[in-house]
C-alpha cells in the first residue's frame, strides 16, 4: 500500500511540476549550423558557440573536421543574440561551467584557429587539457591553468564555487578519467581519485541538483569499443563520495542533452526526441510527458537561465542552428480563477512556517491546502480563506513533503515539493 501511495504522490508531484513547462522555439543561433558546441550561462544571459562541422578533402574524400571559435550571447528578455569576442581556440565538446560571473571552457576534441584554415589543429587534435576563462564584462578570454588530465568529450559543472571536469575519454584508451576540481581563487586543480569508479565514456552528460552532480555514462567506453553503459552516478563533493543511482531508462545515452530546473534533472535527445526526468529525492526516473516538438538530434549543449532551460545546435545527420527553451509558464494552475493569479509558497526549504500567497485569486475560500509525506500520509490540511495564509510546520519532522492545492471539486490546482529542515 505504501509503495502504491509513493508512486501516486510522485506522479502527482510530477503532474503539478512538469505541467507548468512548455516547449518554445527561440531565435536561432545567427551563425553556421554545427554540432558539439559549447554552452553556459552567466547571470541572466546564455552563451553558446564553438563546435564543429565536417567536410571532405578534395583529394581523397577523407573527412576534414573544422572547429569554430566564435562566441555568442543570448538575452532571454529580448530573444536576441549578439556576437562576442572569439575564443583563442575553437573547441568542440568542450566542458563548461560558470563561477562568480565568469565562464570557463576546457578540454575538448581538438581546436582550430581560425575557422576554415583547414589544417592547424591545436592545442592537440583529439584531446586537450587547454582551459580558458571568459569575462562577459570585459568581453575577453584569458588562458588559465591547464586541466591536469588531457581528455575530450568530458562533462563540466560547478558546485559551491568550485568547477569540475572529467569522466570523458582519452585516445590512450584509459578506462576511467577522474573528476578534476578547479579553484578559481587560486587557479589550481585537484584530481579526485575517489571518482575513478565513473567509467571513461564517449559523450557522457551531467546536471547539478541540490549541490550534487549527477553523471550519466554513455554507451561508448573507449574510442573504438562500443558497449552499453548506463550507470548513473551521484557525485557529492561535500562528503567526497560517488554512488550509483537508479538506472537511466532511456535507450540512447550518447550525445544526450542534460539540464536541471527546480530540483529536477532532465536527460534526453541523443539522436532521439525523448526526454526523461530524474528526481534526486525519490531516486526515480520517469518519461517526460511533454514530447519535444523539434527535430531529433544529438550533441546539443544546454544552458539554464532562471527557471528556463535552453539547448540548441546539434546534428541529426544535418547540422542545426535552432534554439529551444523548456519554459516555465508564468501563469499556471488557477487560470480558471484568474489568469493573472500567482501561487507563491515560501520559504522553501523552511524550518518553521509556510507562507501561501494567492495574489488576485477569486474564490480563495474554495481552495484547500494539504501537505503529505512521500509515502502518502497527510500531515497538514488547511482551507485557504484569505489571499495570504501562514501555516506552522514546526511540529513536523525534517524531510521532503509534497503539497497540493485543490478546488472545491478536488481538481488539482498546484502541487510541488517542500523541504522542511
The predicted-structure confidence for 301-343, as pLDDT tens digits, reads as follows 999 999 899 999 999 989 999 999 999 764 333 344 443 346 7
The β-bridge partners of 49 are 38, 71
Q: Give the predicted TM-score (pTM) of the model.
A: 0.76
The β-bridge partners of 252 are none
pLDDT at 159: 97
Region 134-157 average pLDDT:
95
Three-state DSSP class for residue 18: helix
Distances in whole angstroms, Cα of residue 186 to Cα of each of 14, 157, 164, 192, 237: 41, 18, 15, 17, 18
CA 264/CA 260 separation, integer angstroms: 5
CA 288/CA 268 separation, integer angstroms: 9
Is residue 286 predicted with pLDDT exceeding 50?
yes
pLDDT at 201: 80
Distances in whole angstroms, Cα of residue 251 to Cα of each of 51, 216, 266, 323, 347: 25, 12, 14, 24, 38
Three-state DSSP class for residue 380: strand
CA 110/CA 122 separation, integer angstroms: 6
The β-bridge partners of 358 are 343
Is residue 112 predicted with pLDDT exceeding 50?
no
Residue with cell 568542450: 94
User: Which H helix or E strand runs over 213?
Assistant: strand 212-216
What letter would DSSP give residue 156?
A: E
The CB-side HSE value for 328 (13 A sphere, CA atoms) comes to: 14
CA 49/CA 92 separation, integer angstroms: 9
The β-bridge partners of 236 are 241
Three-state DSSP class for residue 264: strand
Cell output for 257: 542533452
* CB neighbours of residue 250 within 10 Å: 19
**Residue positions counted in the chain:** 421
Do 418 and 352 contact (CB within 8 A), yes or no?
no
CA 129/CA 110 separation, integer angstroms: 10
Closest C-alpha to 82, from 120, 122, 41, 29: 29
Bigger pLDDT: 258 vs 375? 258
End-to-end, the C-alpha distance of the chain in Å comes to: 27
Do 166 and 150 contact (CB within 8 A), yes or no?
no
Distances in whole angstroms, Cα of residue 167 to Cα of each of 57, 73, 170, 302: 33, 28, 10, 18
Do 25 and 310 contact (CB within 8 A), yes or no?
no
Distances in whole angstroms, Cα of residue 63 to Cα of each of 68, 118, 194, 292, 313: 16, 11, 38, 32, 21
Q: Which of 52-56, 375-379, 387-391 has the lowest mean pLDDT?
A: 52-56
The predicted-structure confidence for 180-232, as pLDDT tens digits, reads as follows 999 999 999 999 999 999 988 878 999 999 999 999 988 654 444 555 667 89
CA 228/CA 250 separation, integer angstroms: 12
Region 136-148 average pLDDT:
96
Handedness of CA 117, 120, 125, 129 (dihedral sign): negative
CA 292/CA 298 separation, integer angstroms: 13
Residue with cell 546534428: 315
pLDDT at 179: 97
What letter would DSSP give residue 274?
A: -
What the chain holds in terms of domains, given with CATH numbers, is 22-328 (2.120.10.80), 342-420 (2.60.40.1930)
CA 93/CA 39 separation, integer angstroms: 10
Amino acid at each position: 500500500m505504501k509503495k502504491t501511495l509513493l508512486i501516486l504522490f510522485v506522479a502527482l508531484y510530477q503532474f503539478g511540476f512538469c505541467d507548468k513547462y512548455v516547449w518554445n522555439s527561440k531565435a536561432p543561433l545567427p551563425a553556421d549550423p554545427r554540432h558539439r558546441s559549447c554552452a553556459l550561462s552567466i547571470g541572466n544571459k546564455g552563451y553558446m558557440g564553438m563546435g564543429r562541422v565536417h567536410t571532405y578533402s578534395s583529394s581523397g574524400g577523407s573527412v576534414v573536421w573544422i572547429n569554430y571559435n566564435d562566441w555568442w550571447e543570448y538575452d532571454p528578455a529580448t530573444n536576441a543574440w549578439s556576437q562576442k569576442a572569439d575564443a583563442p581556440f575553437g573547441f568542440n565538446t568542450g566542458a563548461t561551467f560558470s563561477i562568480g560571473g565568469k565562464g570557463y571552457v576546457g578540454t575538448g576534441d581538438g581546436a582550430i584557429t581560425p575557422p576554415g584554415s583547414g589544417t592547424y589543429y591545436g592545442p592537440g587534435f583529439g584531446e586537450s587539457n587547454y582551459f580558458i576563462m571568459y569575462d562577459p564584462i570585459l568581453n575577453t578570454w584569458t588562458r588559465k591553468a591547464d586541466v591536469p588530465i588531457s581528455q575530450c568529450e568530458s562533462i563540466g559543472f560547478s558546485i559551491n564555487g568550485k568547477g569540475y571536469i572529467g569522466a570523458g575519454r582519452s585516445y590512450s584508451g584509459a578506462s576511467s578519467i577522474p573528476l578534476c576540481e578547479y579553484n578559481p581563487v587560486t587557479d589550481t586543480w585537484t584530481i579526485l581519485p575517489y571518482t575513478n569508479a565513473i567509467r571513461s565514456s564517449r559523450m557522457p552528460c551531467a546536471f547539478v541538483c541540490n549541490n550534487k552532480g549527477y553523471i550519466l555514462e554513455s554507451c561508448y567506453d573507449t574510442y573504438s569499443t562500443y558497449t552499453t553503459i548506463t550507470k548513473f552516478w551521484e557525485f557529492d563533493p561535500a562528503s567526497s563520495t560517488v554512488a550509483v543511482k537508479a538506472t537511466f531508462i532511456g535507450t540512447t545515452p550518447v550525445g544526450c542533452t542534460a539540464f536541471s530546473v527546480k530540483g529536477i534533472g532532465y536527460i534526453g535527445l541523443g539522436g532521439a526526441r525523448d526526454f526523461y526526468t530524474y528526481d534526486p529525492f525519490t531516486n526515480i526516473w520517469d518519461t517526460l510527458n511533454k514530447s519535444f516538438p523539434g527535430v531529433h538530434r544529438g550533441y546539443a549543449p544546454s544552458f539554464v537561465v532562471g527557471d528556463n532551460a535552453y539547448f540548441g545546435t546539434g546534428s541529426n545527420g544535418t547540422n542545426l542552428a535552432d534554439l529551444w527553451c523548456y519554459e516555465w509558464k508564468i501563469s499556471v494552475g488557477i487560470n480558471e480563477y484568474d489568469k493573472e493569479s500567482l501561487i507563491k509558497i515560501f520559504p522553501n526549504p523552511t524550518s518553521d512556517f509556510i507562507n501561501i500567497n494567492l495574489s488576485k485569486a477569486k474564490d480563495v475560500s474554495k481552495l484547500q491546502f494539504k501537505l503529505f509525506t512521500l509515502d502518502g500520509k497527510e500531515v497538514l490540511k488547511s482551507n485557504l480563506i484569505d489571499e495570504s495564509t501562514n501555516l506552522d510546520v514546526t511540529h513536523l519532522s525534517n524531510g521532503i513533503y509534497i503539497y497540493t492545492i485543490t478546488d472545491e471539486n478536488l481538481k488539482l490546482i498546484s502541487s510541488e515539493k517542500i523541504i522542511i529542515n
